[in-house]
Amino acid sequence: MSVHILALVGSLRSGSHNRQLAEAAVKHAPEGVEVTLYEGLADVPFYNEDIDTEEERPAAATRLREAAAQANAFLLVTPEYNGTIPAVLKNAIDWLSRPFGASALAGSPTAVIGTAYGQFGGLWAQDEARKSARIAGATIVEDAKLSIPGSVTRFAETHPADDAEAVAQLTVVLTALAAAVEAPAS
């Protein structure tokens, strides 16, 4: 069985180290695992139940939901903005949490990783992302965690895809996420 993981990155910046971490996940996905980096979170408007109807739903939100429906699992890659999750990632979780009872996140194995400049690598944001995704119905894979501190210096001249330690840690996360898909919790 091939496992398809959809990666959602909480930073819109093209040079983001978190985006680069997601690119490394795409490049170094283990055999039998395909990671797709979702493009287009910047186009998704803030969640508003008034526009979440067949007649009004924005095309960008529909595209996000369609991509999520094709995934077996989710990889949320988050920086830490002012000690918490970036709005763009929280917004994606909000859109994917609906429709209530039948969301794309419901029961889906989900891992949260990230890198940040601080000494804890964005742990606060990762904890908030796990909390939000869990409440939205995702199944958080607790042993699939990765927080890389000191991103500004560590990745100043090295892309995470070329950092052997980061790649090894990513492989552990992706393998655990794929295992959660193949052997769902009972």
Looking at residue 18, which CATH number applies to its domain? Answer: 3.40.50.360
Q: Provide the pLDDT for residue 172.
A: 97
Average pLDDT over the chain, rounded to whole? 94
**What value does the mean pLDDT take over residues 10-21?**
95
**What value does the mean pLDDT take over residues 133-141?**
96
Boundaries of domain holding 96:
3-182
Q: Is the pLDDT of residue 186 over 70?
A: no
Each residue's pLDDT tens digit, 52-82: 999 999 999 999 999 999 999 999 999 999 9
**What value does the mean pLDDT take over residues 92-106?**
92
**How would residue 101 be classed by pLDDT, with cut points 50, 70 and 90?**
confident
Those residues with Cβ within 8 angstroms of residue 66's Cβ, 6 or more apart along the chain or in another chain:
none
| C-alpha count within 13 angstroms, C-beta hemisphere, residue 126 | 23
Global pTM reads 0.96
Pick left, alpha or beta for residue 58 (phi over 0 → left; psi -120 to 50 → alpha; otherwise beta). Answer: beta
Q: Are 93 and 9 in contact (CB under 8 A)?
A: no
Q: Provide the pLDDT for residue 184.
A: 61
Q: Which of 137, 169, 181 shows the shortest CA–CA distance to 21? A: 169
CA distance 177 to 106: 15
Q: Provide the pLDDT for residue 134.
A: 96
Count of domains observed in the chain:
1
Q: Are 148 and 182 in contact (CB under 8 A)?
A: no
**What value does the mean pLDDT take over residues 93-98?**
97
Beta bridge partners of 140: 110
